């Protein structure tokens, strides 16, 4: 039974769904983010090597969940990798080479905002690779990932799935909102015409690369806040960790009695105090 205290019924695509209330969402997110800090410290303490892949439809919310995961984490321990279009030199390299260079060392966690699965998705659908390159990827990817797992890397793969209607709604929102337009790339616009092709490519990708050592986990993402909480909750349960944050740090007394006086900094350009200040 739905908890009506923390959820509300809303209309969505001609149907009624229960959507989490903002206050409850913020409370649950804070709890999960605290657990993520514990996980981070455990990864560092135990020298774990963790890779989390985020794939899915354009505008499915991958960036949003990554932002919430990393909000309170140390970027030296948990870093985001979102590789740009390969250079001319990289195009001549082994396909996985530039991704392998971004893999974690001991005590690190890497979040791939899109990954080597570009070849199974956008490159295949938009014709950026040959059919031979695509077939070779499907053949070699499972072996590549098995090598990563054998080397001690924990590999977790998420695919964010949204409906055609919800994707179009988010595209329109980005197109109409000036502060979000940077999210709507020319490739996103082209992808609107190829919904079916992307669907077929995803099904083949799952069939060929859903392996026991590194299975795919699907995240229902039509409701962003649900997707974020569900994904983070699931991620925390993929790695056995303990609380390694440590005891509260007691700061020592600061030495006093100095005769140092802060200079006026006369002659230096000061930033105008537009907000606050003494007028």
Considering only CA atoms, which of 62, 89, 59 is closest in space to residue 191? 59
Among the listed residues 211, 173, 170, 168, the one whose alpha carbon sits nearest the alpha carbon of residue 192: 168
Residue 175, in any domain of the structure? yes
Q: pLDDT tens digit string along 151-166?
A: 999 999 999 999 999 9
Name which of 167, 227, 211 is nearest 191 in CA terms. Answer: 167
Q: Which pLDDT score, from 0 to 100, does residue 182 have?
A: 85
- Whether the CB-CB separation of 196 and 131 falls below 8 Å is answered with no
Q: How many domains does the chain have?
A: 1
Token digits of residue 140 = 């070699």
What CATH number should be reported for the domain holding residue 165? 3.40.50.300
* Domain annotation covers residue 112: yes
206 and 216 Cβ atoms separated by less than 8 Å: yes
Ranges of residues in the chain whose predicted pLDDT is under 70: 1, 277-279
The answer to whether residue 79 is domain-embedded is: yes
Question: Is 256 inside any structural domain?
Answer: no
- Does residue 25 lie in a domain region? yes
What range does the domain containing 112 cover?
A: 7-87+98-236
The reply to whether 216 falls in a domain is yes
Q: What is the pLDDT of residue 1?
A: 63
Instruction: State residue 22's pLDDT score.
Output: 96
- Residue 53 Cα to chain centre, angstroms: 8
Q: What confidence score (pLDDT) does residue 152 get?
A: 98
| 168 located within any domain | yes
pLDDT for 279: 53
- Determine, yes or no, domain membership for 258: no
Looking at residue 161, its pLDDT comes to 95
d(CA 250, CA 268): 37
Q: Please tell me the distance from the alpha carbon of residue 27 to that of residue 175, in angstroms, as a whole number.
A: 31
Beta strand residue intervals within 136-279, DSSP E: 153-161, 216-220
Strands (E), 162-262: 216-220
């Amino acid at each position: 039974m739905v908890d009506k205290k923390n959820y509300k019924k809303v209309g969505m695509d001609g149907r009624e769904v229960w959507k989490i209330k903002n206050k409850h969402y913020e409370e649950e997110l804070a709890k999960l983010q605290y657990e993520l800090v514990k996980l981070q410290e455990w990864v560092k303490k135990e020298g774990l090597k963790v890779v989390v892949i985020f794939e899915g439809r354009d505008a499915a919310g991958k960036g949003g969940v990554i932002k919430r995961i990393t909000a309170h984490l140390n970027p030296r321990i948990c870093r985001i990798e979102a590789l740009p279009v390969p250079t001319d030199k990289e195009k001549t390299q082994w396909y996985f080479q530039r991704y392998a260079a971004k893999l974690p060392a001991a005590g690190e966690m890497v979040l791939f905002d899109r990954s080597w699965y570009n070849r199974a998705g956008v490159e295949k659908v938009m014709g950026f690779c040959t059919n031979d390159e695509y077939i070779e990827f499907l053949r070699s990817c499972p072996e590549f990932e098995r090598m990563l797992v054998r080397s001690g890397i924990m590999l977790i793969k998420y695919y964010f799935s949204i409906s055609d209607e919800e994707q179009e709604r988010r595209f329109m929102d980005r197109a109409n909102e000036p502060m979000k337009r940077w999210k709507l790339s020319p490739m996103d616009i082209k992808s609107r015409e190829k919904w079916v092709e992307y669907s077929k490519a995803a099904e083949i990708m799952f069939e060929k690369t859903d392996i026991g050592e590194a299975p795919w986990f699907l995240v229902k993402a039509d409701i962003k806040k649900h997707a974020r909480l569900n994904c983070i909750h699931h991620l925390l349960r993929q790695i056995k960790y303990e609380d390694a944050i440590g005891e509260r740090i007691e700061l020592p007394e600061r030495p006093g009695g100095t005769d140092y006086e802060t200079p006026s900094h006369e002659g230096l350009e000061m930033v105008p105090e537009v907000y606050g200040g003494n007028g």
